[in-house]
């Protein structure tokens, strides 16, 4: 019968880009645990493990539409360079705090003398993701 919606599963995984560069892995730490169908992981991941059994291993590619979505230009914005820390570099992650107390993380995309471009897209937005998974437990 295999994994179905509503099952609680534990999986080990390695996530990588299409060029093979690994961006995350559960090996060496606790397996990922989640309830299938509860929206706790990206949709494409859930779809790919349906029907698998304990001990099964599978490799699959998730198109960005079923992962973190497209990279959106409207989530990039410019700020005056002098509002950022002096030692900031392109690629750094910064927290932007809003007046209501909430915050979000942005990546420094460009640094000019006067202006910096910040990107609030998820770091994996716009990327197709490759996963290798191993089903550890189904309950």
Is the distance from CB of 44 to CB of 62 less than 8 angstroms? yes
Residue 17: beta bridge partners? 129
pLDDT in the model for residue 87: 94
pLDDT in the model for residue 69: 96
Phi and psi for 110 in degrees, rounded to 5? -145, 145
Using 50, 70 and 90 to split pLDDT, how confident is the model at 58? very high
Q: 7-69+125-138: which CATH topology?
A: Chitinase A; domain 3 (3.10.50)
Asked if pLDDT for residue 104 goes beyond 90, the answer is: no
CATH of 73-119, picked from 2.40.10.330, 3.90.550.10, 3.40.50.970, 2.40.340.10, is 2.40.10.330
Which of 75-79, 96-100, 106-110 has the weakest average pLDDT? 96-100
pLDDT in the model for residue 135: 98
Q: SS3 for 138?
A: strand
Alpha-carbon gap, residue 52 to 54, rounded angstroms = 7
What is this structure's pTM? 0.82
pLDDT in the model for residue 60: 98
pLDDT in the model for residue 127: 96
The full set of domain ranges for the chain reads: 7-69+125-138, 73-119
Q: Quick one: average pLDDT of 74-99?
A: 93
């Amino acid at each position: 019968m295999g994994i179905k919606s509503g099952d609680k599963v534990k999986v080990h995984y390695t996530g990588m880009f299409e060029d093979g560069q690994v961006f995350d892995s559960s090996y060496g730490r606790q397996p990922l645990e989640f309830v299938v169908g509860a929206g706790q992981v990206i949709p494409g991941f859930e779809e790919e493990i349906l029907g698998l059994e304990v001990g099964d291993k599978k490799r699959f590619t998730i198109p960005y539409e079923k992962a973190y979505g497209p990279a959106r230009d409207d989530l990039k914005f410019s700020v005056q360079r002098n509002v950022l820390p002096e030692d900031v570099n392109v690629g750094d992650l910064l927290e932007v705090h809003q007046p209501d107390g909430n915050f979000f993380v942005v990546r420094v995309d460009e640094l000019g003398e006067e202006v910096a471009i910040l990107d609030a897209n998820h770091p994996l937005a716009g990327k197709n993701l490759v996963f290798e998974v191993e089903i550890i437990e189904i309950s």
